[in-house]
Structure 1
């Protein structure tokens, strides 16, 4: 049997197993505390073209909000924007684009004490989105004319600022880092070399500082075996991986997973095509000894001062049956045994968890460490399809307001091979989440850097709905450009006020000023509703950016765009009638078009009465980046 046939069969089995178990979440354990949050008040529903914007007064101590909707006499139910994971959002406003325009719906909102603990519903409101179809954005007609909706973005360039927080910089995801050592190929492309290059791009072009990855304890790196019943530790392959990572200017987030075969209580319990073992240890003392030996080795090799910059995270998504065959109580034991073993080696090392799926088990872990005294420096969790919730109130309720908050996985979808991952929709989604998370989380790690990824089998074609910011071959997807543009914003965040149809709920903006007086404005148009991933003409908008407080004289204005027609390498491949994988000539054509596209030629705009105005149409999904530099 060929290696390719074996890999295909392993992938098919892994996919069937994943689909059968991915939705099963572990329950039981700590008792829920009684709900004490008030219902949200002042709920307002504003109808717009193709959308309804909901706004409400935030509730103190809420980590987020669940929007409810009903039609006719049906009961209110959580509104599904088709994200495939947590449907709650961290704050208002919220744009519902899932309804039928012209059809009235009833809306209400509940505050969340924890992700699975909604409070009482607010009073309800009834409204319908407006019908009508805007022209397809892209024309040059002045913004706001005719029947086209207009969103105004008002930026005070001389206004008060705060430091620009970039939550994507602390870390990015990268499946398992043993890929760095691979000499095999996918689509004719070298896996190890291209993953290394992808991670280098994360560092040099996006400013990313560390990488979170699965499986540093898996058997492909040979860290643990038993010979004549005695444990043998071997970290030489871990050294190869971490040496390679550090040579790229990146640090590891040490996810302590999965279970070595010789230490597993049930080695038949596995996940992924590469057979990562998900069972608890059969010998807890030997597990603790392994962790201590690994940490001691890392300090000896890389130095105490260096390793103190590496977060140690316990396991991955143990609240899903597919990732942990034990109970919740066994996971809490795993957490405590593991972090105590890490701290035995050096009390100054950073530890945390629960690295849970769907924002779960954070409260339960905090309850456990409160009762046990186990160390914790950060809480970590994951979610997809919505901006990350706000866990600051939950940490404060546990008397730990200074805990780090790390979202060590986050993305547009948890579903493998989902076309949305290659679309412009994912780019606007990414900006919404990053702006929402800024100044309230320590890290928001996009999952993942590269499409060189094999959880459920290796990529079958160039555009296959892979999780990566970069394709196999390291072509930049639209969502890579989204992060690249966000990273080009200046050092000092400026206030931006939006008004109009879908302002702040559909159309958002991020503005900043550089030390040299350059003003940058990033504007995007997007919804959380994945049924609209391909766009909806009713959601296209015209935008007028009004800048005030500019220095006298004139400014050079440059305008970059990401949309269906611009900075969209998948569209280039479609125009080439691409099949599964490019030929050599097609790779050359793709690389020549792998660019951030300017929407309009550079122009010089005079400052009149301390300001200037830039108008443009903006499709949904789509984004524009303006750079205004003082002209000499």
Structure 2
């Protein structure tokens, strides 16, 4: 099965979202400040030192401002655990996979560093906290024979702690109604459908009431987003039929809307990128035929061949699909994404992947995105940001700045994002240089469909064929600085093998136009912060 490339010209890529939908020290140390940075008031690039061979010419026009840079700073995983300290891992658990935050740290400060403002309540810990039912010891409804209308039937204690932590961090809660993956502690995933869909819907209704309407000594958080199940097209999470999922979706969505019709419900949380299990077009057909609410369509993707452009491609494809059903107002959520599940990259490669992917997503019709931390962490077990986490911090530092017109980026891994403050007191330029490993380039040898035993069939996107060139470094020219020809300061922050968002250089200049030149071999990320002196 072959997929079409949604865009061959990256020049058209920039700005497309509005039409689709009505971020080596050693190398730097070898250079003098004059080589790193040159400036003049109204001169041209040609009047400066010739750009080194193999560098990329990048331009930023600070006078051409667009809409505010969107936030895609969401995560799967909470800032505050239900159990502080090592008890965040079950006693005697046989760990067979990665557990997020095994030391039970309060990571609120790290979430704020990264600008996280949206948290999905899936795989919150190794206890099943937040699960409606299943095998997790902290599941919300522990005894299936209990009366779902009685407060005593519920176990809200652990999740109350986590939700309060999300809210206190300043992030919005995205509530997943389903079950977590507990395979990392060798606990069965409980992938059979709920025994009684009507009862499950009633339980979901009372969970909404607890967190939004104070029921059962609850709260008034106003949680807006309610997602029904997780990856029903994968055997580890769903062994039922497509029709059973449709029935569950219908009953749970109605129950949630009965509490508050303005709440947003959605699914199907597809991860295969095909309809073999009935969770793509077939699901949309059922929604349409039965006039069901679908306020957001959610999907997951981990590019097996680690191309950060995949998310953009899928965003365009899914948006077009929804629009073809008349679902123009349905939001599009990529609420699990990260590097490939089948590879562990060097931290600097992961950082460049994260930064490049998030920059590309800016031009995609993706309304919300949540990076899944358990596979490739953004925060170390000791609580420090990894280089990937620092990449997210760099991107987040441009959030809400007005997007500036740029050139020199491409769709092969060299990404540029620039923003200007509305008060004209700063300009930021983020440059990320990522290369897809050679083994992951070229045509797929066995076609696009890949069967993963005991999981499902994935439909992969076409791989790119690339000969990398002109990405050994860059010469970025920023034109029309908003403070005119007065003095300004340029701070260069670097992520590479030796740096983790480290201040690599600081330079002074005058002029309404500046050019900054630096080596930046892949993988690497530079953030330039330009402010009036």
TM interval, shorter chain, is 0.7 to 0.9
Name the CA distance, whole Å, in 2 between partners of 1:242 and 1:367. 34
- Please give the secondary structure, in 1, of the residue aligned with 2:137: helix
Spell out the pairing of 1:158-197 with structure 2 (5 A cutoff): 158-168=63-73, 171-174=74-77, 179-180=82-83, 183-184=86-87, 195=104, 197=106
Say if 2:357 is the partner of 1:433. yes
In structure 2, the residue corresponding to 1:557 is in which secondary structure? strand
8 Å contact from structure 1 (residues 203, 209) kept in 2: no
* Equivalent position to 1:507, from 414, 430, 455: 414
CA distance in 1, matches of 2:51, 2:476: 19
1:564 aligns with 2:497: yes
* C-alpha displacement of 1:367: 1.3
| Counterpart Cα distance in 2 of 1:280 and 1:411 | 27
Contact 1:379 1:405 in 2 (8 A): yes
Where in structure 2 are the equivalents of 1:188-337 lying within 5 Å? 195=104, 197-203=106-112, 205-214=114-123, 215=128, 216=130, 217-218=132-133, 219-226=136-143, 233-237=153-157, 238-258=159-179, 271-272=183-184, 273-301=186-214, 306-337=220-251
TM-score, with structure 1 as normaliser: 0.62
Aligned counterpart in structure 1 of residue 427 of structure 2, from 516, 519, 532 = 519
1:423 aligns with 2:312: no
- Say which structure is richer in strand: 1
Alignment of 1:113-128 (within 5 A): none
Shift of 1:560: 0.8
Cα shift at 1:477: 1.0
1:91 aligns with 2:7: yes
Give the C-alpha shift of residue 622 in structure 1.
0.5
SS in 1 for 2:252: helix
Aligned to 2:371: 446
Question: Any stretches of 5+ residues in structure 2 without a counterpart?
Answer: 11-25, 37-48, 90-98, 442-466
Counterpart of 1:544 in structure 2 is 475
CA distance in 1, matches of 2:272, 2:83: 29
Encode CA deviations 1:88-128: one digit per residue, 9 max, x unaligned: x653458xxxxxxxxxxxxxxxxxxxxxxxxxxxxxxxxxx
* CA drift at 1:327: 1.6
Tell me the matched-pair count: 439
Change (3 A) 1:227 1:352: closer
TM-aligned CA deviation for residue 343 of structure 1: 1.5
1:349: which partner in 2?
263
Kindly tell me: are residues 358 and 148 of structure 1, through their superposed partners in 2, closer, same or farther at Cα, counting changes over 3 Å? Answer: farther
SS in 2 for 1:419: coil
Do 1:180 and 1:244's aligned partners in 2 also have CA atoms closer than 8 Å?
no
2:22 maps to none
Classify 1:337/1:176 alpha carbon distance in 2 versus 1 (closer, same or farther; 3 Å).
farther
Instruction: Give 1:555 shift.
Output: 1.6
Give the deviation of 1:615 after TM superposition: 0.7
Alpha-carbon distance change, 233 to 392 in structure 1, aligned in 2, over 3 angstroms: same
Q: Deviations over 1:255-281 (max 9, x none)?
A: 11129xxxxxxxxx9855333311112
The 3-state SS of whatever aligns with 2:377 is coil
How far apart are 1:598 and its partner, in Å?
1.6
Is the CA contact 1:544–1:614 (under 8 Å) kept in the aligned structure 2? yes
Q: What CA distance in whole angstroms lies between the structure 2 residues aligned with 1:324 and 1:376?
A: 20
Higher relative contact order (CA 8 A, sep 6+): 2
Shift of 1:156: 1.1
Q: Distance in 2 between matches of 1:308 and 1:554?
A: 47
Is 1:393 matched up with 2:320?
A: yes
Deviation string, structure 1 residues 144-199 (Cα, Å, up to 9, x no partner)? 9798312100111222332121222xx3111898755675267xxx9879655224
User: Over residues 277-305 of structure 1, what are the superposed CA-to-partner deviations in whole Å (9 max), with x where a residue is unaligned?
Assistant: 11112222222222222222223328999
Of 307, 319, 329, the match for 1:402 = 329
CA–CA distance in structure 1, aligned partners of residues 61 and 439 of structure 2: 36
Helix, strand or coil: the match of 1:627? Answer: strand
Give the equivalent residue in structure 1 for 2:60: 155
User: Residues 474 and 90 of structure 1: is their aligned pair in 2 closer, same or farther, counting only changes over 3 Å?
Assistant: farther
**Is this contact kept in 2: 1:175–1:213, CA < 8 A?**
no
Cα distance between partner residues in 2 of 1:154 and 1:436: 17
Q: Which residue of 2 aligns with 1:27?
A: none
Secondary structure of the equivalent of 1:334?
helix
CA, structure 1 residues 344+147, in 2 after alignment: closer, same or farther (shift >3 Å)?
Answer: closer
In structure 2, the CA distance between the partners of 1:200 and 1:312, relative to structure 1 (3 Å rule), is: farther
CA contact 1:541–1:620 (8 Å) conserved in 2: yes
Match of 2:31 in 1: 140
Output the CA distance in 2 between the equivalents of 1:191 and 1:160. 39
Tell me, in whole angstroms, the C-alpha distance in 2 between the residues paired with 1:328 and 1:176.
34
Match of 1:157, SS state, is strand
Please, which runs of 5 or more residues in structure 1 have no aligned partner? 1-34, 36-64, 68-88, 95-135, 260-268, 454-465, 568-595
Q: 1:365 aligns with which of 261, 283, 286?
A: 283
- Whole-Å Cα distance in 1 between the matches of residues 332 and 401 of structure 2? 23
Which residue of structure 2 aligns with residue 116 of structure 1?
none
| CA-based RMSD | 3.6
